[in-house]
Structure 1
Amino acid sequence: MKLPTESIDRIIEMAWEDRTTFDSIKFQFGLKEQEVISLMRREMKPSSFKMWRKRVQGRSTKHEKLRVFQKGRFKCSRQKQITQNKISKR
């Protein structure tokens, strides 16, 4: 499957984010964890890939099953609610 450059860039960005799970990437782009790893290996410099891989391996926040905080649809519990295009006050 050939992905547009914008999608590849967004997948890489999401993969680097600590709180974005591989399940989120699969939901949005249809790529399994192994496919994300292959994409990262293909698109990044070897040293950057090794750094990312070391960082991600075993990280509980990258795997939905290992998370301990409240499950929500890809949203942090501290994220502000947006109502009618205005940020609501707490």
Structure 2
Amino acid sequence: MELENLNPEDIDRIVEMAWEDRTTFDTIESQFGLSEKQVIALMRREMKESSFKMWRERVTGRKTKHQSKRDFQEGRFKSSNQKT
């Protein structure tokens, strides 16, 4: 999916999922069709610069944001809005 085709509700949900520690970029891609690179671009576009920098520092290298780096399959909490 292209960033321009997202409605405001989808954008809000993607931003919410991107902030969640245990929601992987793979999950966002399976639900919305956005790659990690596209999620980063969306976050940069939708957030204030200081908030974006804080988010990038938070997720850079974080094992829980990448399915292949995780040592567990499911976290302690799964949002009812999350499809997978």
TM range (shorter): 0.7 to 0.9
In structure 2, C-alpha distance between the alignment counterparts of 1:40 and 1:53, rounded to whole Å:
9
| Matched ranges for 1:1-90 at <5 A | 1=2, 2-69=5-72, 71=73, 75-76=74-75, 78=76
Shift of 1:62: 0.2
Larger Rg: 1
Q: Structure 1-normalised TM-score?
A: 0.78
**Identical aligned pairs, as a percentage?**
66
Q: Structure 2-normalised TM-score?
A: 0.84
Corresponding pairs, count: 75
Q: 1 or 2, which has the higher helix percentage?
A: 2
Q: SS of 1:18's equivalent? A: coil
Q: Which has the higher contact order (CA 8 A, sep 6+)?
A: 2
| Structure 1 residue ranges, 4+ long, deviating more than 3 angstroms after superposition | none
Q: 1 or 2, which has the higher strand percentage?
A: 1
In structure 1, C-alpha distance between the alignment counterparts of 2:41 and 2:57, rounded to whole Å:
15
Tell me how large the CA RMSD over aligned residues is: 1.5
Shift of 1:6: 0.1
